[in-house]
């Protein structure tokens, strides 16, 4: 059975929460291998002039630890 590790990340997008989640996984995959899941812990948005300008997420990403 593989051992998993979980890290917490913050990401944002001007398109939407799904795009922010995709960005979180893409950026994490640059330094992590074998990502298994993402859990969206919190969602937040910045509003300017009655419009959402930034979508932000706080997420947990799990990945497999390498070892013997």
Domain for residue 25, yes or no?
yes
Q: What is the CATH number of the domain that holds 9?
A: 3.30.1660.10
Q: How many domains is the chain partitioned into structurally?
A: 1
Answer whether residue 67 shows pLDDT above 80: no
Domain with 20, as residue range(s), is: 4-60
* Domain-located, residue 20: yes
Phi-psi region of 42 (alpha: psi -120 to 50; beta: other; left: phi over 0): beta
CA distance 12 to 61: 15
pLDDT tens digits, one per residue of 32-64: 999 999 999 999 999 999 999 999 999 999 999
* 12 found inside a domain: yes
Q: Is residue 46 part of a domain?
A: yes
pLDDT at 57: 98
């Amino acid at each position: 059975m593989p051992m998993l590790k979980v890290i917490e990340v913050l990401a944002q997008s001007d398109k939407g929460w799904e795009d922010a989640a995709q960005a979180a996984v893409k950026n994490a995959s640059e330094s992590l291998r074998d990502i298994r899941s993402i859990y969206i812990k919190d969602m937040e948005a910045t509003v300017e002039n009655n419009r959402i300008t930034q979508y932000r997420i706080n997420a947990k990403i799990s990945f497999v630890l390498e070892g013997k």
